[in-house]
Chains A and B, each alone.
Chain A
Amino acid sequence: MLTALTAFAITSAARLITGARALWLGCTPQPVQRLYFANHSSHGDFVLLWASLPGPLRQRTRPVAGADYWAKPGLRNFVIRKVFNGVLIDRQRSEVQANPLQPVLDALSGGDSLIFFPEGTRNLGDEPLLPFKSGLFHLAAANPDMEVVPVWIANLNRVMPKGRALPLPLLCTLSFGEPLQVQAAEDKHAFLERARQALLNLAPKEV
């Protein structure tokens, strides 16, 4: 009850402030297993992506988040674990032997869809997109039937710039592109480059 109310409050606030307009350009909102990968410039990114999905899809879609930031006890921990049912990954690799992507692979084999940020960290510079970490390739290669959907989140970096508490009420647009799959002879580098380009193609052109 508390979690449902919190989820409702957070998504409503996100939509009220940003308008959160979803453009389904390359696919339609369907209940199939998907990995949504997006540009990452704000802690609000996954909230906005999650909020812009239709209700039934939202219940099966879990954000992948860094444990170092989100697993701190208190409100953050409650929000990421209970409200968003997030999958936490150990970005610092505190256990050398363990595969940091294991919790994500487990979630995928359980049939969940995911929200994933392949840059691995927030992009705070002037470049539109940082180089991708290899995680996206390993997840896509291990789940060949899953749709890998690029999502460009426009303007949220202006709504909530780093280190600022008060959001600006600017309009955000989420562009959902065409699903990708790892092709037969495609290596890691080629796939990551193709995925990165597919995501960049959804970005609004700067004049």
Chain B
Amino acid sequence: MDHNTVLLFAGIGALLLLASVIGRLLKWRAGGGPHAVIDNLNARINAWWVMVLVIGIAFLFGKYGVIVLFYCVSFYALREFMTLTPTRRSDYPALVAAFYVALPLQYLLIAMDWYGLFSIFIPVYLFLLLPILASFGGDTTRFLERASKVQWGLMIAVYCVSAVPALMTLDIPGFEGRNLLLIAWLILVVQISDVLQYVCGKLFGKRKVAPNLSPSKTIEGLLGGVALATLIGASLCWITPFSFWQAALMALTVNAMGFFGGLVMSAIKRDRGVKDWGHMIEGHGGMLDRIDSVCFAAPVFFHFVRYWWA
């Protein structure tokens, strides 16, 4: 692990320590009794410690550590997605293909650096193969709807998420051997934008930005969170191949994508009548609740960097 990575993780550790102290102080000031918002805040902070630790361990193992980490992220996300979107008995072969073929192959192709295939494997080959498999069951009930669900789940949970470890495959002149930092930058900026939108929303939030889709998102939270996260992304340009202004524009792009990703995933949840995708991350909900913004930001970020820098 190079000097910059250590520095970055030390900074994140300090930030989390500060958050933990503030969380405990709020709890103490509230009298120590049960308090929904503060307890949830502390649960979220504790979960952040675990998530940062897991990412840190994956980083220690370099490229393959990151690939294995995001393979697991994709698996849990796909599982939550498919659990919540009902399919019928005839979809079994398509679901088997999704979980046991598409998911491992996508990450294998990334490990093999095979850009020509991993960039089209799910959007082209699986897109055609999955409905073929579903048609073998001979069940026409809501066929298009079912085929779309499986394909959409794969795109979001596997294809989009895999764009994060795919950053390891880019050859950026003058940035050799430091691609892990690009991943760290992307995750940090997108996630800190989520956190700051939450914090700004809780502190100053008044006007709802999309009451039907996500009642907790406010205009004040959105503007404050995105502005601060963009500033943080820009001031971290020293760990990226970008200049200050390039980093600011990139940060603004991924933050905007992340915000809209949150809205889209929220619309699906609300349509299915649930508040969270799952329960695996205490205080946050499911895996998809935590990474919805990354799903939308990562592919755009990957292709922007590939087009302009690699």
Contact = CB atoms under 8 A, between A and B. Distances in A.
Given A21-B279, A207-B271, A207-B273, A170 B92 contact: no
Interface stretch (B95-103, B166-174, B241-249): B95-103
A169 B83 CA distance: 9
A161 B273 contact: no
B80 A171 contact: yes
Given A21-B279, A158-B87, A205-B273, A168 B80 contact: no
Nearest to B92: A161
B94 to A, nearest CB: 11
Contacts, number: 30
B140 to A, nearest CB: 14
B79 A171 contact: yes
By size class, the interface of chain A is 10 to 19
Interface residues of B, number: 18
Interface in B78-115: 79-80, 82-83, 86-87, 89, 92, 95-96, 99-100
Contacts of B96: 166, 168
Contacts of B306: none
B99 A169 contact: yes
Contact of A171 (B83, B86, B95): B83
Contacts of A164: 92
B201 interface: no
Contacts of A168: 82, 92, 95-96, 99
B86 A206 contact: yes
A33 interface: no
Interface of A: 19, 21, 155, 158, 161-162, 164, 166, 168-171, 205-207
